[in-house]
């Protein structure tokens, strides 16, 4: 542990915590405005501050600040018969785990400090000094002896370029030219904690979330709280199982439990969601259940048990639960991204730049300096988290709540068997895949490339669609007096109702 590694660790912690805490604040705004847009209303937009006489509203982005001020200045109420120590401990216990889970999630590829301006390949070779016009389908020489062809920054003889193949993780080091071994000065692993348990650590800490909720429920001295705490405990324990088992299939495919290795595998082949679609859905379901939000918000169950374990909390203690909930959304999204949605990888964005290639046919290649690649990867990672949070909001505002026994049935009778079946199927397919010849595996590699191509096209299309739809098109979004024009079709509805 040298001084520089400590400094870098602190920097990484600041990046992750800063991002997540700010994201959770933005998520509160997003939840309010997004649900408003879904529900045909405007949403909160009136919080304003006056700076030098200018009134600034920022579309309601100031609400999180107003919330914070309100929560800090509110009375911190502890019920007279409550267990005061546990009552105060519970919010911390529920805020802390989701925050530290993110320690093992890599947010970019290994950063080579010495080669920021150069093009660094996957195997740690500097391809060339980067010039803007120098790199049209340039084939750098392969430095390993015996290599025939050079694709994707990787000598063909050394590593499999594509294909759904289980590979030893050691080949996928994001090595740096200066020093081949990772973790030394000059090669910085962009995850806070660089250690082997990976996913196990995630589950160990995610399980801690139960403790906060159930302690809060028990210590509040309120029957509604107690029911909320019990519901939280049983719900989280049940879904922890489904969550853990759903990921086993993915672990089998990736051959590792380290999240950075998983991400690299997805960069080399295809995103995990395409090889483990069932596991993705199961994990998403379980992750939403872990965040205790609709349709799984039974522990809080507004209309049933008032606010569940939150009943007796006020002020910043409530604020911590509230923040923990939003951080948990961001955390679960980050895990989903790292395990199933390619982490920081975008299709065809490699360590040395953009290479659009299907099989051996390289369509287009553009070298990009290392620092830009790292920034693009970070952007991709945080962008994916954002999109996933956005999607979770849709789920939350579209679906009604489960009932307690239905929730348990879903967890134990649907998700758990499905996860087990997924493990079984994955195992069978993996064995069968290993028995097939290299030719078939290479063909699968080409299929993987096509999937990547489709993903890239889909992402581009959606972005274009949003940009053009929002700003380009001249057709107004909502026809004015639309109703009168739609009256004719509505008249048909009345006719239908009359006929029924």
Question: Which residues are at the interface with another protein (CB under 8 A)?
Answer: 34-35, 37-42, 45, 223-224, 227, 281, 294-295, 297-298, 301-306, 394-395, 397-406, 469-471, 476-484, 486-487, 490-491, 493-494, 497-498, 500
Find the shortest distance in angstroms from Cβ 253 to another protein: 22
Q: State which residue, 17 or 307, has the beta carbon closest to another protein.
A: 307
Find the shortest distance in angstroms from Cβ 336 to another protein: 16
Give the torsion through C-alpha atoms of 79, 85, 90, 91, to 10 deg: 80
Q: State which residue, 212 or 295, has the beta carbon closest to another protein.
A: 295
Coil, strand, or helix at residue 352? Answer: coil
- CA–CA gap between residue 339 and residue 257 (Å, rounded): 10
- CA–CA gap between residue 447 and residue 162 (Å, rounded): 9
Q: State which residue, 227 or 243, has the beta carbon closest to another protein.
A: 227
Q: State which residue, 278 or 420, has the beta carbon closest to another protein.
A: 278
Q: What is the DSSP code string of 241-258?
A: HHHHHHHHHHHHHHT---
Structure-block tokens of residue 53: 């006489």
Find the shortest distance in angstroms from Cβ 461 to another protein: 15
Find the shortest distance in angstroms from Cβ 3 to another protein: 48
Q: State which residue, 92 or 399, has the beta carbon closest to another protein.
A: 399
Find the shortest distance in angstroms from Cβ 38 to another protein: 5
- CA–CA gap between residue 500 and residue 496 (Å, rounded): 6
What's the maximum distance between 2 C-alpha atoms anywhere in the chain? 82
CB neighbour list of residue 135: distance below 8 Å, 6 or more residues apart: 119, 128, 353, 365, 366, 367
Q: State which residue, 66 or 430, has the beta carbon closest to another protein.
A: 66
Find the shortest distance in angstroms from Cβ 53 to another protein: 20
Q: State which residue, 153 or 301, has the beta carbon closest to another protein.
A: 301
Q: Buried b / exposed e across 321-351, counting CB within 10 Å, b at 16+?
A: bbbbbbbbbbbbbbbbbbbbbbbbbbbbbbb
Find the shortest distance in angstroms from Cβ 394 to another protein: 5
Find the shortest distance in angstroms from Cβ 224 to another protein: 8
Q: State which residue, 80 or 476, has the beta carbon closest to another protein.
A: 476
Find the shortest distance in angstroms from Cβ 263 to another protein: 26
* Closest residue by Cα to residue 390 from 442, 466, 316: 466
Find the shortest distance in angstroms from Cβ 491 to another protein: 7
Q: State which residue, 85 or 499, has the beta carbon closest to another protein.
A: 499
Q: State which residue, 27 or 142, has the beta carbon closest to another protein.
A: 27
- CA–CA gap between residue 74 and residue 45 (Å, rounded): 23
């Amino acid at each position: 542990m040298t001084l520089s590694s400590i400094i870098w660790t602190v920097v990484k912690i600041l990046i992750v915590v800063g991002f997540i805490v700010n994201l959770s604040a933005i998520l509160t705004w997003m939840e309010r405005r997004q649900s408003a847009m879904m529900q045909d209303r405007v949403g909160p937009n009136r919080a304003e501050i006056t700076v030098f006489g200018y009134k600034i509203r920022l579309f309601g982005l100031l609400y999180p600040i107003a919330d914070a001020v309100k929560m800090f200045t509110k009375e911190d109420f502890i019920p007279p018969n409550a267990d005061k120590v546990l009552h105060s401990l519970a919010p911390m216990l529920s805020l802390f785990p989701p925050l530290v889970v993110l320690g093992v999630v890599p947010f970019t590829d290994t950063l080579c400090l010495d080669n920021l301006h150069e093009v660094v390949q996957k195997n740690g070779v500097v391809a060339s000094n980067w010039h803007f016009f120098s790199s049209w389908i340039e084939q750098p020489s392969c430095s390993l002896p015996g290599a025939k062809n050079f694709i994707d920054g990787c000598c063909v003889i050394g590593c499999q370029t594509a294909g759904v193949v289980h590979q030893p993780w050691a080949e996928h080091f994001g090595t740096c030219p200066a020093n081949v071994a990772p973790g030394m000065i000059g090669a910085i692993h962009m995850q806070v904690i660089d250690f082997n348990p990976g996913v196990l650590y995630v589950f160990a800490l995610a399980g801690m979330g139960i403790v906060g909720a159930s302690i809060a429920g028990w210590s509040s001295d309120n029957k509604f709280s107690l029911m909320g705490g019990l519901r939280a405990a049983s719900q989280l324990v049940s879904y922890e199982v489904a969550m853990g088992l759903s990921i086993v299939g993915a672990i089998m495919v990736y051959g590792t439990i380290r999240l950075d290795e998983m991400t690299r595998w997805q960069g080399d082949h295809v995103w995990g969601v395409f090889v483990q679609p069932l596991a993705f859905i199961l994990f998403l379901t379980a992750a939403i259940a872990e965040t205790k939000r609709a349709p799984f918000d039974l522990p809080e169950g507004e209309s049933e048990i008032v606010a569940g374990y939150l009943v007796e909390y006020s002020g910043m203690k409530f604020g911590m639960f509230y923040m923990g909930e939003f951080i948990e959304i961001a955390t679960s999204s980050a895990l989903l991204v790292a395990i199933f949605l390619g982490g920081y990888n975008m299709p065809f964005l490699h360590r040395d730049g953009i290479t659009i290639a299907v099989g051996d046919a390289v369509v287009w290649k553009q070298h990009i300096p290392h620092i830009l690649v790292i920034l693009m990867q970070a952007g991709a990672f945080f962008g994916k988290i954002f999109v996933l949070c956005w999607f979770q909001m849709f789920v939350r505002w579209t679906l009604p709540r489960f009932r307690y026994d239905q929730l348990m049935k879903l967890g134990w009778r649907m998700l758990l068997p499905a996860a087990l079946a997924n493990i079984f199927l994955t195992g069978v397919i993996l064995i069968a895949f290993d028995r097939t010849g290299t030719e078939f595996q290479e063909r699968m590699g080409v299929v993987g490339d096509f999937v990547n191509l489709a993903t890239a096209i889909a992402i581009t299309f959606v972005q274009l669609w949003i940009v053009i739809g929002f700003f380009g098109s001249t057709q107004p979004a909502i026809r004015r007096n639309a109703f009168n024009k739609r009256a004719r079709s509505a008249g048909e509805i009345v006719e239908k109702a009359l006929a029924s």
